[in-house]
Amino acid sequence: MTTHTTTVRSTLNHLSFPSHDVPATAAFFEHFLGFAVLAMGRSRVVKKDALDIVIEDARDRDISWPGNFHIGVEVSTMADLQRIHADMLGAGVPMETELISHARGSRFFCWMPGRLMLEVNTREDAAPEFRRTFASQQG
């Protein structure tokens, strides 16, 4: 492997995930997490803050994820976390866990349409020794 002597500035541009049900996956992001949805042929781009997620139409192929593969989103407060959890339960979203109290911040895991696991967490209640490790807790 070559080691470069100059630093190249880069930022995360987007994530891309396949789904067998693109409209349902995009609607999940819009309804529960407040993302905007942009149609792109048979696929969708969901956008929030500086993050774009491409939901690719994968009806023509198998989708399988490694065991604990997931994406995570952070909400500001425990009240937000509890409200989203209750909303998802009420809507019948399949849950992998209940609300979990954790040293790095409370969280829960659920299954989005397309069988992609989602972690929703808050750092509001993270133990002090972990707070400095999260960008949302700095400044």
* Average pLDDT value over all residues in the chain: 89
| Gyration radius of the chain over CA positions | 17
Question: Is the distance from CB of 110 to CB of 93 less than 8 angstroms?
Answer: yes
Q: Find tokens 């100059």 and name the residue.
A: 6
Whole-model pTM: value is 0.84
DSSP SS3 for 39: strand
Q: What structural domains does the chain harbor? A: 10-59 (3.10.180.10), 69-139 (3.10.180.10)
Q: 24 Cβ partners below 8 Å, 6+ apart?
A: 113, 114
What pLDDT digit, counting tens, does each position of 80-126 carry? 999 999 999 999 999 999 999 999 999 999 999 988 899 999 999 99
- Phi, psi of 83, rounded to the nearest 5 degrees: -65, -45
